[in-house]
Structure 1
């Protein structure tokens, strides 16, 4: 995987295929594997770029000056500048959509189209924020994601009925187990606190181009329920696509549906 040095740290990214550029923004606690089906499908017609979040995959630790989602957007823009990429089609899932929308608002001239998946541009509801912060404290104190917590954290990302013996679930649970103490304390926990204490930017969403924006959400997404996506789609004035048989990481739970929806949207906008 290629690497770019941004804010003094190595940012690893996938760069596959040729054609118009599609930048895929990933979810918290997932590396490039969350986009594996999309990288394969989209790279047949597009140049697909997938930066890995700080502390995730092969990327280095969270740079000291990273204090908000605006900084993540600025860092993604710095990557595009290093790669000499003038315009992108942005597909952001979860926190990838949170910083992705900020990037689109920050540099609209660089954006050809935007897909916001399983994400929310409002502030985190206070009860949920406090719950996640309590999990971060447990992880911090243990210097690991404790065994009982693995089966609290992992299910958040999938539809309620997922087979917990499936390779998708077991592989993800194992990946969570694999985070080192150093990564958790330097990157994962501080990044989580940054994400879940984000500012509300819903009032800025009407600035996005309704004709080149799409909102998508897993029908069974628990952390980012479809009602949030409906709210955003109405503010933007764009279409909402619900993804059947999928929770939060809809890209992996129903990849065929997601791939077809993305390819159809990109064919009309890219």
Structure 2
């Protein structure tokens, strides 16, 4: 997996397959491996590019001056410029959808189709924002994510009925427990504050192309409930799909369903 220097820092990304380009935007606290089932399927038909968030995977620290989701969108577009990619499809999950919608609004001539998954581009509800910020304060103070916080954070990403002993659950938990203090303090926590302190772009959603946009959401997504997805789909005027038996990381909890929907949608919009 190669690197590109963006805003003075090394951005790590996966680049696999040939054909029409699909840019995948990952969830907060996950690296590019979260897309493994979709990369395997999509790269048979497309060129799949997956940048890793700052401080995640092998990407460098959050660049100086990065203060908003608009900066993340600009940095993703800079990566595509670096790779000489003109037009592409964009599939963004969670924060990947938050900056993905902004990129599509800023450069509509570049984004051929857009899939917003398990995401929300309105402001974070104030009680939730305060709660998440309190967790960030605790992580910052401790220099790690201790067991009691892991017990709080990890279940947020999955449907309530998931087996906590499953490989998916345990691997994610282990990845969070292994995050070093400098990465947490310099990148992961500041990025979290950007995400959950975001501004509201719901009024701008009608500016997206409804025919080329799809909203998807796990039917048991706790942090980004399906009502938010429906609200966005109505504002855009686009199709809305619920992923059965899935929580926030719907593409890993029901990978077959998600992959089939993505393949069909992206095929139609080429």
Both structures adopt the same fold (TM-score exceeding 0.5): yes
Q: Distance in 1 between matches of 2:258 and 2:27?
A: 15
For 1:54-85, what per-residue CA distance to the aligned partner results, in whole angstroms no more than 9, with x for missing partners?
Answer: 00000000001100000000000100000000
The alignment status of 1:204 with 2:223, answered yes or no, reads no
1:109 aligns with 2:109: yes
Measured after TM superposition, the shift of residue 53 of structure 1 is 0.1
Query: Matched residues in 1 for 2:88 and 2:197: separation?
Result: 28
Structure 1 gap segments, 5+ residues each:
none
How many residues of Structure 1 are paired with residues of Structure 2 in the alignment?
Answer: 270
> Which residue in 1 is equivalent to 2:41?
41
SS class of match (2:109): helix
Give the whole-Å Cα distance in 2 for the aligned partners of 1:114 and 1:99.
12
Aligned counterpart, 1:124 = 124
1:20 aligned onto 2:20: yes
Q: CA deviation at 1:33?
A: 1.1
Supply the distance in 2 between the matched residues of 1:96 and 1:187 (Cα, whole angstroms): 16
Question: 4+ residue runs of structure 1 moved beyond 3 angstroms?
Answer: none
1:174-230 deviations in Å (ceiling 9; x for gaps): 000110000000000000000000000000000000000000000000000000000
1:216 corresponds in structure 2 to: 216
What SS is found at the alignment partner of 1:108?
coil
Superposed CA RMSD in Å reads 0.4
Q: How does 1:1-270 map to 2 (within 5 A)?
A: 1-270=1-270
**Secondary structure, aligned partner of 1:241:** strand
Per the normalisation by structure 2, the TM-score is 1.00
Tell me how far apart the structure 2 counterparts of residues 210 and 244 of structure 1 sit (CA, whole Å).
23
